[in-house]
Amino acid sequence: MNKSTILLIGILASSCFASEPGPNYEIVEKINPDNHFESLGEPHHDIVQEIYQRSSDDAKGSGFKIVLSSLADPSKKELLFAFDRDARASFSPDGRWIVIDDRPVRGHCEPRLFKLKEGLKFVEVKEAMIRQRAIEFFVKENKLPPDVRKNMIPEGACIVSSLQWAQDSNSLMLRLSKERTGEPVWIWSWFCIFDLKEQRISLDLNILNRGAFTLKK
């Protein structure tokens, strides 16, 4: 094996295992896992959220990155999500799910659901379509005309944000809001539940209460 071949292998290896967040990013926030209730039976969480911002306007890439790292081994990192405006990530109590409230433009929020694959790797569940399902449920539940749905679906026309995980990690409380003037409906705060198991929206608060308490014998 000649020197050029060895050099090429080295370059490929370094590119394959290049660590996040990459050059031209600086950390602006670090969120450690909350293990305060581990003694009460909750699982131990090892994943740390690191929020990075692009350090130069001239540099290429997204403005911000959410990178996951290991509490036990901080050298292990995995990119979760890259964005340019605003996004917030929230772990489910069991640590197997993440919901990201993605706010790409003003007046818009879309909860994006991610499922743990292995280690620090989470993959987006694109078929969840939480924002679209929540809007369609709102229109149907309130017996509104189809034009309202058409008006709420476009980017920037309606905010759907995640508020709280159920203790059993199988459902999310959502909030819809829409305050743009001159449109058929204003929504200050309208709440519903997204059931991960059934992949559906409902108004059944009991779904959110599953696993909320235990009875000591």
pLDDT, one tens digit per residue, over 160-201 is 999 999 999 999 999 999 876 546 788 999 999 999 999 999
Question: In Å, how far from its chain's centre is CA 147?
Answer: 29
Q: From the CB of residue 206, how many other CB atoms can be counted at a distance below 10 Å?
A: 11
For 56-80, write each residue's pLDDT tens digit: 776 677 899 999 999 999 999 999 9
Whole-number pLDDT of residue 216: 72
Distance CA 10, CA 42 (A): 43
* Global pTM value: 0.84
**What is the residue whose two structure tokens read 């031209």?**
24
Q: Which residues contact 160 (CB under 8 A, 6 or more apart)?
A: 109, 110, 111, 130, 131, 134, 135, 174, 175, 176
